[in-house]
């Protein structure tokens, strides 16, 4: 899609971004996010405090960097998939759960941090909402359903992912994938087996 070779500047920028994000996570794990200042993150990443804010608009952004993002290409594959919508969705979430170690470990660490630091929850939820929006756009692009339904589907999928992720972290489900499947199964039985007052 975009094949301009990355310039020196771009490479440096990416390196620094990663360094800052890593510094933020490390410090947060070491002593808790509320015991970490921007100055310290900047110092550990080898930049000035002011430069920190050239890379991330807020302290939280550095911590959440890439944590709740779709892996590159995943949404495009989803859009292009010939499988029926629900199957394609499942494939998408499976692929997402099977990320390579570094990204995935980071996501897990961040979620654990949020678990112990409620101030972080709003920021995390906002990231999740952003990725739901991206998913909604991809669903719309597939053309299976109208936009309203696409938004609904994306929101529900996000909700299921949140629930299954949470209960996997809490240890009540063996692994993220079966947790996700359990959530979808719960939804399906609920929708299909309940007596409806107005059929």
Partner DNA sequence: CGCAAAGTCTGCACTGAGTGCAAGCTTGAA
Partner DNA sequence: TTCAAGCTTGCACTCAGTGCAGACTTTGCG
x/- map, 109-138, its own copies, by CB under 8 A = ------------xxx-xx--x---------
Least spacing, CB of residue 50 vs its own copies, in Å: 21
Please state the closest distance from residue 191 (CB atom) to its own copies, in A.
5
Determine how many CB atoms are found less than 10 A away from the CB of residue 18.
13
Cβ-contact 176, 162 below 8 angstroms: no
Which tokens is 157 given? 């999928």
Q: Which residues bind DNA (CB under 7 A)?
A: 7-9, 12-13, 16, 36-39, 47-51, 53-55, 57-60
HSE, CB side, 13 Å, CA atoms: give it for residue 186: 13
Integer Cα distance of 186 and 195 in angstroms: 16
* Residues 6+ positions from 195 with CB-CB distance below 8 Å: none
First to last CA, the chain: 48
The nearer residue to its own copies, 134 or 159, going by C-beta atoms, is 159
Binder of residue 53, out of DNA, its own copies, none (CB less than 5 to 8 A by kind):
DNA
176 interacts with its own copies by CB under 8 A: no
Measured between alpha carbons, how far is 129 from 15 in angstroms, rounded to an integer? 27
Answer whether 108's CB lies under 8 Å from 168's CB: no
Cβ proximity to DNA: between 16 and 109 the closer is 16
65 lies in the site for its own copies, by CB under 8 A:
no
Chain residues binding its own copies by CB under 8 A are 83-87, 121-123, 125-126, 129, 145, 148-149, 151-153, 155-156, 158-160, 162-163, 166-167, 172-173, 182-183, 186-188, 190-192, 194-197
């Amino acid at each position: 899609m975009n094949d301009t070779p990355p310039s020196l500047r771009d490479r440096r920028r990416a390196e620094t971004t990663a360094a800052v994000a890593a510094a933020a996570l490390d410090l947060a794990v070491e002593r808790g996010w509320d015991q970490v200042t921007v100055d310290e993150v900047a110092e550990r990443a080898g930049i000035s405090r002011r430069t920190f804010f050239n890379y991330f608009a807020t302290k939280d952004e550095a911590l959440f960097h890439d944590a709740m993002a779709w892996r590159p290409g995943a949404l495009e594959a989803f859009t292009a998939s010939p499988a029926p919508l629900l199957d394609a969705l499942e494939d998408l979430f499976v692929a997402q759960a099977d990320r390579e170690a570094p990204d995935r470990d980071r996501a897990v660490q961040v979620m654990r941090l949020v678990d112990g630091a409620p101030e972080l929850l709003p920021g995390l939820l906002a990231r999740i909402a952003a990725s739901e929006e991206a998913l909604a756009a991809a669903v719309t692009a597939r053309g299976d359903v109208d936009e309203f339904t696409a938004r609904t589907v994306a929101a529900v999928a996000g909700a299921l992912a949140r629930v299954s992720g949470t209960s996997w972290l809490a240890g009540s489900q063996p692994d993220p994938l079966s947790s996700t499947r359990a959530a979808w199964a719960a939804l399906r039985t609920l929708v299909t087996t309940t007596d409806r007052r107005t059929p």
